Amino acid sequence: MSAIRILPSHTVNRIAAGEVIERPAAAVKELVENALDAGARRIAVTLDGGGIDRIEVVDDGCGMDADGLALAVLRHATSKLADDDLVHIATLGFRGEALPSIGAAARLAITSRTREAPHAAEIRVEAGQVSEVAPASGSPGTRVVVRDLFFATPARRKFLKHRRTEAEHAEAAVRRLALAAPGVAFRLEAEGRVLFDLPAQGRRDRVGTLFGGEAACAMVEVDGERGALRIAGYACSPAVTRATSVAQALTVNGRPVADPVLKTAVRVAYRDVIAAGRHPLVALWLDLPADELDVNVHPAKSELRFRDAAAVRSLVIGSIGRALAGGAGTALPAPRPSLRLMHPQPRPVSYPSVPLPGMARASGPGMAETQLGFGAAPATRMLAVAEPEARHPSDDFPLGAPVAQVLDTYVIAVASDGSLVLVDQHAAHERLTHEALREQLLDGGVRTQALLLPAVVDLPSADASRLLARADELARLGLEIEAFGPGAVMVRALPVVLGTAEPGGLLRDLADELAELDEATALHARLDAVIARLACHGSVRAGRRLNAAEMDALLRQMEATPRAATCSHGRPTFLKLTKADLERLFGRR
């Protein structure tokens, strides 16, 4: 090894630039954050070559004078820290690294003018070499132009992706900042094409514009408070999902972040109402005292450390959970992407006292049907029509009045505004059963019903052992089992809502669910998943004929049941098609 030496400043700057400016999107993010910190009310971003060839950011902020420009391009020079306090940080930037890092890796030109100055001033930096400040023409505010990014660090430039990919990352960075600061007008242009030009907006309008019409029509408001912590924003119906978490805008004290604590909290909040492998759409603003978090974790400042992470998680999970807890029809799930839903019109409703559909005993086969009171006659027609007295929609009921049952699986209803409502009877009743079981459990225990003749279920020995090891915990769910020889389990009682039919399928599914728990993990860690298994087996099946009263009871109970817009597996329980949706399907507009 050679002797230890102190690296020259230009080499230090290039090394540091690699930490702060990883790709064009990082440079765009830093420049837009500077504009926001300068109090800009309008920011325009232009990209050429995915930001590799050219980045331009123009703002109407407070600007800088000549002396400020000369300092701005020096490392660790900043106007955002009045003292050495790194706790009470109220700005997006504070490290004083962005501009010198960009200047060390690219050709940088900054033109700035304060509102009091008679003219602007300009400074240029090329591969770390700083020019003199010179007079220039320019409007109040700041214009930053970055050319040939990473020309001075060719090793980093070789690792950049295709220009289109880099442009997409840069666009995503601007979108996140635009969501974090909806009161600021944003314009983004790439390769000569305007991607968006947004006026200053309210939060809901900004979210609807950037997330798209499908999400805008399925948003519910999130609002919560816990001590000094405050959360607000919007969460989309569980029926509107994405394949990745890219459509999750999380803002903390005005700073867009990709924090694992918040992402985990969002995932947990949606876990019981969204399909596995899908990700929800949310836009959340979290505000808390500056001394309750540390933003100086990474040069990119996208991760935070919370002093009380548990309180933050609890607030996020609880607030989203309450927002999603409305009955079906108060927050509409979206149909397939080609259809557009109108904004929901939630209203306080006084619901009639309706039992869980079919709680009266009825004869007929099937675990669900014995308790749900659905007729046992086999289906002989493709369409069952409701009686005339059940066809009058009321303004009080968002899901409207039942008209018919199609394929013995889907209930057709008409809302008071004329919209067509399609309900998947199994998915809907699965959620009703799920919530009934969950409520009973929270009240002290699920109500059980002893079987007249205990059922013996043969299982693989491993599955039988797994179930018997959790027998005490399963008893709290209304499922009473005991050993019955090698590889067999005797069922003595089932939850009341599940009926008295053959429970073999249920036990096999529960054994699979419990297989994911280790010996030390309590059942309550996956309690909702186990309840979902019970609910699935305790719900009316597709192919079961419903009469008019049962259809109506199903709709009314959906409106009064929390989280009833999706089933226990996250699938939508109903679709609502407006007049405009139907006209679009038939090509009438």
- pLDDT higher at 252 or 547: 252
Q: Which tops the pLDDT comparison, 179 or 212?
A: 179
Express each pLDDT in 185-205 by its tens digit: 999 999 999 999 999 999 999
d(CA 423, CA 559): 12
Whether this model's pTM surpasses 0.75: no
Distance CA 555, CA 328 (A): 9
Residue 124: the pLDDT is 94
Average pLDDT over residues 262-271: 89
Predicted pLDDT at 220: 87
Amino acid making up residue 430: E
- Per residue in 233-243, pLDDT (tens digit) is 999 888 778 87
Classify 220 as helix, strand or coil. strand
Residues 482, 492: Cα–Cα separation, whole Å: 8
The dihedral through the CA atoms of 164, 168, 171, 173 has a sign that is negative
* For residue 503, pLDDT beyond 90: no
Q: Which tens digits make up the pLDDT trace of 374-385?
A: 443 333 345 566
Q: Domains of the chain by range and CATH?
A: 9-198 (3.30.565.10), 205-323 (3.30.230.10), 355-589 (3.30.1370.100)
Compute the distance between CA of residue 393 and CA of residue 398 in angstroms, rounded to an integer. Answer: 9
Whether 315 shows a pLDDT value over 90: the answer reads: yes
User: What angle (nearest 5°) sits at the alpha carbon of residue 140, between those of residues 134 and 144?
Assistant: 60
pLDDT for position 19: 59
Burial 234-263 (b: 16+ CB within 10 A, else e): bbbbbbbbeeebebbbbbbbebbbebebbb
Query: Does residue 120 or residue 337 have the better pLDDT?
Result: 120
The strand ranges marked E within 467-585 are 480-483, 488-495, 574-577
Euclidean distance between CA atoms 467 and 477, whole angstroms? 13
**Residue ranges of the alpha helices (H) in 368-491?**
369-372, 425-442, 461-469, 471-476
Cα separation, 299 vs 358, in Å, equals: 60
Residue spans of alpha helices (H) in 538-578: 548-560
* Highest mean pLDDT of the ranges 51-60, 318-327, 391-400: 51-60
* Residue 16, pLDDT above cutoff 80: no
Angle among Cα 354, 358, 364 to the nearest 5 degrees reads: 175
pLDDT score of 144 more than 80: yes
Residue 380 burial class via C-beta count within 10 angstroms: exposed 0-12, middle 13-18, buried 19 and up: exposed
